[in-house]
Amino acid sequence: MAQRPGGAPYWRLSGFYFVYFTVTGAFVPYWSLYLRHFGYAPVAIGVLTAVPMATKIVAPFLWGWLADRSGQRMRVIRLGTWFAALSFLGIFFGHDALWLALVVGAFSFFWNAALPQFEAATLGHLGAHDHHYSRIRLWGSIGFVVSVVALGWAFGVVSVTWLAPVIAVLLVALWLSSLAVPGPPVPTWTDAPQHGIGPALRQPAVLALLLTCLLIQTSHGPYYVFFTLYLRDHGYSSAVTGELWALGVLAEIVVFVFMPRLLPRFGARRLLIFALSATVLRWVLIATLVDSLPVLVFSQTLHAASYGIYHAAAIYLIYRYFPGQLQGRGQALYSSVSFGLGGALGALASGYVWSGVSPAATFLMGAALAAGGAVVAYVGVRGISPVQSPVR
């Protein structure tokens, strides 16, 4: 079993990310297509996409608190992935709106237990080599590419109703992969606090970072909910749609390879501001030049910044701002505020703007939100003193 860097179980950690993001690569791009197949309108699609995102507002923090208090981070992850797979089976028993909302709400409540805690476990395994996180995380991006391309081609041949059994099988595989990952080493902490997460949240730079994350993820709402439908409505095939999704993630993989060099050279704050600025450009291009395939190809390469650079920089800052016994809750808070609250708000707003204004306007809304995030990051994200430091 390969151990690198810092003795981390590289392939087991990478394998979990790979399977986790094959689920994401199936659900995120094709959920809206699945719902349209059953006759749902844009507003309803927005709501049913917002439900799993909304569970991220509370669920990750609850699971993070449990993992931090129990010290059994991998056990929490295994329980979460098992019950996620079990809950998702409800999708085979009905397709009315209320039932689907209950099923995806339950599934995502448990599924959301996994990733923030696995981020903390991965960083715990890496220890002082935490800048190598992106080289493990890139396997998640590879899993996403494999899933989105394979299903893009498949749905050109078979019905999109096959999405449900594919996701069910992948969720079982995710649970199995969690069984192979050992728990991270348990460090000792200097000046271990008894006060919880409050002091970190009172630091202005932390609040600015969380607001920045909220804005950029809200700006992604139109992309995650309607990008597939937007492309199909403009005449792109299922295969090309899947390939465009994959191109964005391939660009992200390249960034993850180089992030261990980029972070020390440019610093997380500069990279964060750059990522937000590139996100503004990306949404403007998609909104205004969707009929130009070369422009779409270029805009998808900007996913390297709008997700890859952004996420790696944000994870790094969260790890620094919430060290030690606060790691699980810090990563969960990041997930709750950005992917949870931001994702839900973006999904809901994009459904109404899509129906009430125009599809292009949803992406222009995203550009405005990303621009606001760039301003907040420039003004408010600064170096801060961590609450405590780990001794390994």
**pLDDT at residue number 342:** 94
Angstrom distances, CA of residue 138 to CA of 7, 164, 250, 310, 315: 18, 26, 9, 14, 14
**pLDDT at residue number 7:** 56
- Joined tokens for residue 29: 């791009």
Residue type for 26, please? Answer: A
Q: Which of these, 177, 180, 176, 172, lies nearest to 87 by C-alpha position?
A: 172
Q: Which of these, 42, 117, 12, lies nearest to 73 by C-alpha position?
A: 117
Q: Which pLDDT band, with edges at 50, 70 and 90, does 386 fall under? A: very low
The whole-number average pLDDT for the span 75-80 is 92
In the predicted structure, residue 194 carries a pLDDT above the cut 80: no
- Residue that is written with structure tokens 């006759």 in the block: 39
Lowest mean pLDDT among 29-33, 381-385, 387-391: 387-391
**pLDDT at residue number 195:** 55
* Residue 56 host element (H or E): helix 42-70
Between 67 and 389, where is the model more confident?
A: 67
- Residue that is written with structure tokens 């170096």 in the block: 383
What are the pLDDT digits (tens) for 230-269?
999 999 998 899 999 999 989 988 888 888 889 889 999 9
The whole-number average pLDDT for the span 79-103 is 95
In the predicted structure, residue 75 carries a pLDDT above the cut 80: yes
In the predicted structure, residue 332 carries a pLDDT above the cut 90: no
Lowest mean pLDDT among 106-110, 145-149, 279-283, 383-387: 383-387
In the predicted structure, residue 389 carries a pLDDT above the cut 80: no
Domains and CATH numbers, the chain: 10-181+192-386 (1.20.1250.20)
Between 199 and 300, where is the model more confident?
A: 300
Q: Which of these, 259, 241, 257, 256, lies nearest to 297 by C-alpha position?
A: 241
- Radius of gyration, alpha carbons of the chain: 20
What are the pLDDT digits (tens) for 124-177?
777 656 556 778 888 998 999 899 999 999 998 999 999 999 999 999 999 999
CA distance 151 to 156: 8
CA distance 2 to 6: 11
Q: Which of these, 323, 378, 275, lies nearest to 120 by C-alpha position?
A: 323
Between 375 and 121, where is the model more confident?
A: 375
The whole-number average pLDDT for the span 75-93 is 95
- Joined tokens for residue 136: 């493990």
Q: Which pLDDT band, with edges at 50, 70 and 90, does 387 fall under? A: very low
Exposed / middle / buried, residue 183 (Cβ in 10 Å: 0-12, 13-18, 19+): middle
Q: Which pLDDT band, with edges at 50, 70 and 90, does 190 fall under? A: very low
Q: Which pLDDT band, with edges at 50, 70 and 90, does 58 fall under? A: confident
In the predicted structure, residue 3 carries a pLDDT above the cut 80: no
- Residue that is written with structure tokens 């078979």 in the block: 158
In the predicted structure, residue 5 carries a pLDDT above the cut 70: no
CA distance 86 to 111: 11
Residue 365: alpha-carbon gap to chain centroid: 20
Q: Which pLDDT band, with edges at 50, 70 and 90, does 192 fall under? A: very low
Q: Which pLDDT band, with edges at 50, 70 and 90, does 41 fall under? A: very high
